[in-house]
Amino acid sequence: MSDLFFPFRVIVLGDAAVGKSSLLRCFAEGPSGGTATPCPTVGVEFYSRTVPLPPAGKAKLQLWDTAGQERFRSITRSFYRSAAGVLLVFDLTNRASFERVPEWYREAAGEGPPAFVLVGHKCDLAAERAVSAEEAGQLAATLGMAFVETSARSNLNVELAFQTLAGGIQRALGRGGLAPHRGGSKKNNTPSQERF
């Protein structure tokens, strides 16, 4: 029996400078991709990686890195409607970025992506932490999503964050909560032919 192949569009949201690009590069290119200091994202950048999707499938995560600056928000919003999942990222050393998470969530949830994961990034900077794991976990529970602490610099839980999101997308697919235009069709070991 052939593996089932699912292409899923994922967007990464959060304030500027919380480490969205570092997380994506670490996940898509390996640990060395997360240690370089990236330039601020202008508009949207694209990455891709295939991950296993138990019990017998694979997911090609088509990863959209969005700019956090206000002047790019109109560009970013156009990607919400086609997303199957959202990583909501904040900086554990920057309380303001955490306090804006509900605003980011409301903005994206209005367009209906079925799966969200809250990511507290830069957990390696323990001495500078401004948000506790308990507080972040409570917010995630309130918003109905999982919470993962990560560090691209130390390659901590980066895989876990994306695998958790892929699992959430798979559950949404199973209960019929994923529209076909979000990449929910089954394919047999062939890449997606969709245009982006």
Give the model confidence (pLDDT) of 129-176 as tens digits: 999 999 999 999 999 999 999 999 999 999 999 999 998 988 888 877
* H helix or E strand, kind and range, residue 140: helix 133-143
Other Cβ atoms less than 10 A from the Cβ of 95: the count is 14
pLDDT computed for residue 8 by the predictor: 87
Bridging pattern class, strands 146-150 and 85-91? unpaired
Q: Which of 137, 12, 148 is nearest to 85 (CA)?
A: 12
Residue 65: pLDDT band (50, 70, 90) is confident
pLDDT confidence band for 74 (50 / 70 / 90): low
Q: What is the per-residue pLDDT for 57?
A: 77
Q: Among all chains, which residue has been given the structure tokens 């982006």? A: 196
Using alpha carbons, list the distances in angstroms from residue 182 to 49, 122, 147, 192. Answer: 16, 30, 23, 12
DSSP helix/strand/coil, 7 = strand
Q: Is the pTM of this model over 0.85?
A: no
pLDDT at 71 over 60: no
**pLDDT bucket at 177, cuts 50 / 70 / 90:** low
Domains of the chain from N-terminus onward? 4-175 (3.40.50.300)
- Span 46-50, mean pLDDT? 85
Cis peptide bond N-terminal to 7, omega within 30: no
Most confident of 4-13, 78-87, 116-125, 168-177: 116-125
1 has a pLDDT exceeding 80: no
H-run or E-run covering 104? helix 101-109
For residue range 6-46, what is the model confidence (pLDDT) as tens digits? 788 898 999 989 999 899 999 998 876 544 455 544 445 67
- pLDDT value at 126 more than 80: yes
**In sequence order, what are the beta bridge partners of 91?**
121
